Amino acid sequence: MEKKSNFTDIHFVGRLWTALSLSVICAVPVAICVYFGVWPDAKLVLAGILKVGIIYIPIGIIEAVTFAPILGSGASYLAFITGNLTNLKIPCALNAVESAEVQSGTAESDILSTLSVAVSTLVTNLMLCIAVLLLVPLTPLLSSPVLAPAFANVIPALFGALGYMFISQNWKIAVLPLIFVAALYTLLPAQTAQTVSGALIPVSVLVTVAGARVLYKRNMV
């Protein structure tokens, strides 16, 4: 009963703050339009939303279905509002759960995921504040051609390290999804692969689960 009550409280608070956050996000452009007395053409706005929504609404639904079981209830609400899921929140949550040697899907896992996402959000905001203050003095250094390759490879380096950690635990399961994703990105045009990259995540998950099931049936894992 207590666990169910806590679960209900998490969803109540999560939905409340999600609604408040979305209201604030939408209020900013509305306030600017009201202050300056300038409103965009409704047809142009709807046309723009339609063009973007065709791609990103399905991706958003897929990400919610895919990432929610990984993050847990509390972390999901926080992560989807603050953003940077694939390149920050998901790695932080996975690393925290793995470091604590806690089984995924448990109450302990949900707590660790929520704390890790919260801390990563606070650290990100702090670093952004520092970056804004130091942006002008550090502009020559940050725009240096010497550092350009490093900034371009931050996400591959991050996911490479996480990938090695999980692949090394059971490399047989990782062979099929690696071949599948590599083949897709090799065969698909670069622009198409980049556009549908969000939709490929659940497909890769299904391929991984199917491959692991076959290996399990054959007593290979």
Work out the burial of residue 157: count CB atoms within 10 Å of its CB; fewer than 13 is exposed, 13-18 middle, 19 or more buried. exposed
Q: How does pLDDT run across 103-133, given as a tens digit for each residue?
A: 877 888 888 888 999 999 899 889 888 888 8
Over residues 62-90, mean pLDDT: 83
Q: What is the pLDDT of residues 131-182, one digit of tens each?
A: 888 887 877 877 788 888 887 887 778 777 777 777 777 788 888 888 888 8
User: Chain-centre distance of CA 37, in angstroms?
Assistant: 36
Rounded mean pLDDT, 22-38? 90
State how far Cα 162 lies from the chain centre: 14
Q: What's the length of the chain? A: 221
Per-residue pLDDT at 6: 57
* Residue 59 near residue 199 (C-beta atoms within 8 A): yes
Q: Name the residue among 124, 121, 102, 127 with its Cα closest to residue 112.
A: 102
Percent of the chain residues past pLDDT 70, beyond the cut: 91
Q: Output the pTM of the full model.
A: 0.62
User: How do residues 198-216 score in pLDDT, each as one tens digit?
Assistant: 667 777 878 888 888 888 8
What is the average pLDDT score of the chain? 82
The residue that leads in pLDDT, 159 or 32, is: 32
Q: In terms of pLDDT, which residue wins out, 80 or 200?
A: 80
Token pair 């939303």 in the structure block, residue: 49
In the chain, domain spans: 45-163, 170-221
pLDDT for 104: 76
